Structure 1
């Protein structure tokens, strides 16, 4: 029976046995919100801890506050005190709720001053960076991070605080500031603005996703071991330079989202939150539950109001201060389950209701989404969840968590399984079509062939999986190599099938659009601290004598065509054809017909494909010479449908010549 309070969720008959538990979860979310706000203020008003804690210049003086309930004494030490502990910089215990504070005359601190906290607790002491610090810098010799006073004379003057217009369905360019440059070094915010942003605009993507923005001590963590949640990473530049980059993205009409890592925190104590006030349980769970052994990190205790105050305020901070347009929430599966999703296949619905769900974490995610959309109604929130939790991307008003999108993580898994484990002639067209179009009725999904995950050291990019060592020898346009020819063809077809069938959005990691070779590996002891694999070789994309150039040209043409038609997020995928023996599939979306022949060696003449009546032109052809193809099918062709009765139905078809390993997009004229 349909439950109006759960709306779309109760439309799923498989959820009917669990509607009682879903009700309990929604009641728990409401209970947590009431606990935080007292029913007297909005969530937006509550999530303002960053304006209370930390260092602020107010009414002609500096005010600093910190929550450290186990501390017995706290001092600010820095270059202003010759790094010595002085009484005039001792914090005073405040309201009895674990809050310490100090007022400092204006002349004692200046923009750029360096400082730390010297903290004492029963039986111990240590140096700490403030929990709400907004700027940290790393000493180039000692590699130690220090807090820095950041109070420039002139605040950044925003010219384009929001995208010029709503971007529509997100076509996401996932990227990393530091490794975006060609040179073997850490790239900067301004270099990204100058050199990478124009490429993204030209390629047709409408959303850029930044990784590693929140400060992290170890560069090689890719930004996923966060230490300072309110500090933009200084290794890429200043806060104003990040704002300048975001402003430029908005001027170009791009939405800007960032990876928000609230699933765990770095174990580091001097830089991070671990044992901040001498206890292991201030921000994190006590005992074994507080440690994520697989990630070597700490797990937040989402049941504590102070932790929720911290995380919700952090969700608001990046929207307010840097004008981000939303977030990709990292590690949602790990947050949702006590077992972090490890060793669990999620093969049936009982896995979502067997007592393994952390209802406090689920409540936090729901409240974070509610808050984010209160602050910025057009915000984009994306859940990285492999479990397929029902309701994760359903509206909060209908019993869901309120994410706008969930990553369709099964799609890249299938592409890599096909490339790795399945002979070409055994690829299942039904299985592929199902995965490309499969999503829960109540949710929107973002599809992709590969993200950064598939390319990290120990893995391979999709093109490297297909071509392997031949990439080192046979990527010149004049080179003839069957392995490379197969890899180039399937690389284009995988992207065309995935983007073409994407129900609501699409994602690509930078460089993968042109088949960036090899893996991603950040400087570390094991590679002699090399930047060789922590950069993007744009010269490969720009060289017309290399096949990488052709792949990039195809991706650009594909994205601009499909995005320009505006079908993603608006028009459903209409099934037209699957032939397992021929390895052919076809589907249609509001005037665009996608036809793909995955057969490794069979081409087909006069191949019938059902279409909406009309006349069609060949709008995109993976086999075009401009895209590294063999020009078997003549361009600029038109096809006119014909009608007939098959004995049961009136049908409309066109007949096509479809070469092996070729994909078409036909556009109705």
Structure 2
């Protein structure tokens, strides 16, 4: 590293604009040894603790690089593959810390960082070129959300003398092993993307990766960083995009992590009222500190640049932008200098993150998981937005699931839960999620949320998915939902694959696979997701029958969708249609191949002239029970008078 480059690195890092700070921070191997740089502004002294000095730090002293707290050490006493920590001295004390910029860490419960260098070469040029020439808003995006550690597990016998961690680790599929199982499955199911719950290093398995210690390290539970690159490369070669959950909202308090890194609040906010995430037991970053900005934005860009991640789902955005996310009592409220409850620094950090990401590649997927009522989450920054290009529609998710839990006789009084999402649909670029958050902590599995007997529960699950895949917005399903797990997500066990031995579960899996392909085949269901002309209500107010109908359009082509939320069959039911002609049914969730009752529309349906509700044409169809049906215009004629 030249003196000139080092000075520029220092300047950008302390300015908060070093967006690839990992290139000079942390541990970097060279021919003559390893260079270490860390940031500890309150430290009086920093040493390298490793096997060479029995983790005492003796003989490996850092020199101070800047008055703002950068420290550097070059040594030949450490090599690639060696474990290390930083011994940070402050005031009257000292402690050992993992490297915040470490590229690899020991497998928990060990906590040291590991000097790492890999020479993995990606061979996904075709995928990357295709991605960069795509229009993400008009493309089909169907995401399979999964937790890598519990998707599929090796059978392991508990034997005397093995710890819980050792038994758990033996059950895990490695990054390389899972590629051979996951890729054929995603291809069979027709998903366009896979989204991994956080894969950054974390100490506690049951945090699912949402309480991070290593923001630049792929968790060693499943292998080495190059092994994760191998998995992503294989997914790309198979035509499958990769999204990863990213957690800039908070970090865990474990002693070896970021908390009080130099003996004082370094990465966390100095105001305990803002720093403490009381319900989660974690700490909020000090978003206004320039070095923390360089750290967080660099972390995001590290996964995008170095691991070819296609997108990031930013977790817990609400907690980043609201000073009173957990402060419910008036006397505990916090206000900013403008007298509002906005966390201005958090808002600016998110803007910076999105601006940097899209300057690098405008086809990335930057998705906000946001439960606030803030507007313009997916609007451009220059228009006053946060700059994301997609937002999870949590309102749609809650309304739909609340409705599906209602008894059939009560649904007439809750009909607006099926229609309200369209009232705000074009305020943001929404993704419709049925995520892991909805199948844990006593919320019940998707199938089990449905009212009625088993047949009705599975029919309604197919109906729910049909609505999800055809209403404007991209979509996401969590693992196990594709075949109707009855049990909530068991975060210590694998998905209940044995259920596929039962026809009703296997048929739901087939349905989701067919639905994915149907969705991808027909641009009406994804091409104009974010243009109002892509959607039009046909039948919206029929709470008596609990039936909805809408048209999805792309250019001159359109599809008519019909949804029946009651277990009754309705014969000769009139549905308005936008154009005269002959219509035919092309998809029906009640087909017997999906364990439905087999109420189909096999014939041709001639439209009739005469204004009906919103249109000047209509058709008579048989509406199947608890079903989702799609009709297309087969022959453009005058219809019947």
Correspondence for 1:637: 603
Asked if 1:489 corresponds to 2:455, the answer is no
Give the conservation status (yes or no) of the 8 Å contact 1:53–1:65: yes
* 1:14-29 equivalence runs, <5 A: none
* 1:57-456 equivalence runs, <5 A: 57-58=29-30, 60-87=32-59, 89-105=60-76, 108-138=77-107, 143-152=109-118, 155-161=119-125, 162-163=127-128, 164-165=130-131, 166=134, 168-183=139-154, 185-270=171-256, 272-340=257-325, 343=328, 355-421=340-406, 423-427=408-412, 430-439=415-424, 441-448=426-433, 450-456=434-440
Correspondence for 2:564: 597
Give the conservation status (yes or no) of the 8 Å contact 1:182–1:537: no
Give the conservation status (yes or no) of the 8 Å contact 1:329–1:383: yes
Q: Distance in 1 between matches of 2:584 and 2:52?
A: 71
RMSD (Å), alpha carbons: 2.6
Correspondence for 1:575: 537
1:30-80 Cα offsets, whole Å, 9 max, x none, are xxxxxx999999x99731211121001246432110000111222212223
Give the conservation status (yes or no) of the 8 Å contact 1:611–1:641: no
Deviation at 1:159, TM superposition (A): 0.3
Give the conservation status (yes or no) of the 8 Å contact 2:550–2:561: yes
Q: Distance in 2 between matches of 1:179 and 1:461?
A: 16
Which runs of 5 or more structure 1 residues have no equivalent in the other structure?
1-35, 345-352, 468-481, 523-530
Q: Distance in 1 between matches of 2:614 and 2:224?
A: 65
Give the conservation status (yes or no) of the 8 Å contact 2:17–2:294: no
Deviation at 1:649, TM superposition (A): 8.2
Q: Distance in 1 between matches of 2:425 and 2:539?
A: 23
Correspondence for 2:469: 499
Q: Distance in 2 between matches of 1:386 and 1:375?
A: 28
Asked if 1:457 corresponds to 2:441, the answer is yes
Deviation at 1:497, TM superposition (A): 1.2
Change (3 A) 1:129 1:44: closer
Give the conservation status (yes or no) of the 8 Å contact 1:457–1:521: no
Asked if 1:608 corresponds to 2:570, the answer is no
Deviation at 1:203, TM superposition (A): 1.5
516, 519, 522: which is aligned to 1:559? 516
1:483-527 Cα offsets, whole Å, 9 max, x none, are 1011011111011112211x23111111112112211243xxxxx
Change (3 A) 1:210 1:588: same
Q: Distance in 2 between matches of 1:254 and 1:327?
A: 15
Change (3 A) 1:144 1:438: farther
Give the conservation status (yes or no) of the 8 Å contact 2:438–2:445: yes
Correspondence for 1:666: 631
Asked if 1:549 corresponds to 2:528, the answer is no
Q: Distance in 1 between matches of 2:339 and 2:549?
A: 40
Give the conservation status (yes or no) of the 8 Å contact 2:415–2:546: no
Q: Distance in 1 between matches of 2:265 and 2:16?
A: 29
Q: Which moved more, 1:564-573 or 1:376-385?
A: 564-573
Q: Distance in 1 between matches of 2:446 and 2:596?
A: 19
Deviation at 1:607, TM superposition (A): 3.1
Deviation at 1:665, TM superposition (A): 1.2
Which runs of 5 or more structure 2 residues have no equivalent in the other structure?
1-7, 156-170, 330-337, 529-533, 635-641
Change (3 A) 1:51 1:428: farther
Q: Distance in 1 between matches of 2:582 and 2:31?
A: 71
Give the conservation status (yes or no) of the 8 Å contact 1:180–1:187: no
Correspondence for 1:537: 496
Q: Distance in 2 between matches of 1:617 and 1:183?
A: 47
Correspondence for 1:624: 591
1:632-660 Cα offsets, whole Å, 9 max, x none, are 325x43323232356x9871111101132
Which TM-score applies when normalising by structure 2?
0.86
SS in 1 for 2:112: strand
513, 516, 531: which is aligned to 2:485? 516
1:361-408 Cα offsets, whole Å, 9 max, x none, are 111111100000112221010100111311111011212111001100
Change (3 A) 1:342 1:40: closer
SS in 1 for 2:583: strand
SS in 2 for 1:388: coil
460, 466, 475: which is aligned to 2:450? 466
Q: Distance in 2 between matches of 1:217 and 1:516?
A: 28
Q: Distance in 2 between matches of 1:433 and 1:209?
A: 27
SS in 2 for 1:179: helix
Deviation at 1:199, TM superposition (A): 1.4
Deviation at 1:210, TM superposition (A): 1.0
Deviation at 1:293, TM superposition (A): 0.2
Change (3 A) 1:282 1:255: closer
Correspondence for 1:9: none
Deviation at 1:441, TM superposition (A): 3.5
Q: Distance in 1 between matches of 2:375 and 2:586?
A: 38
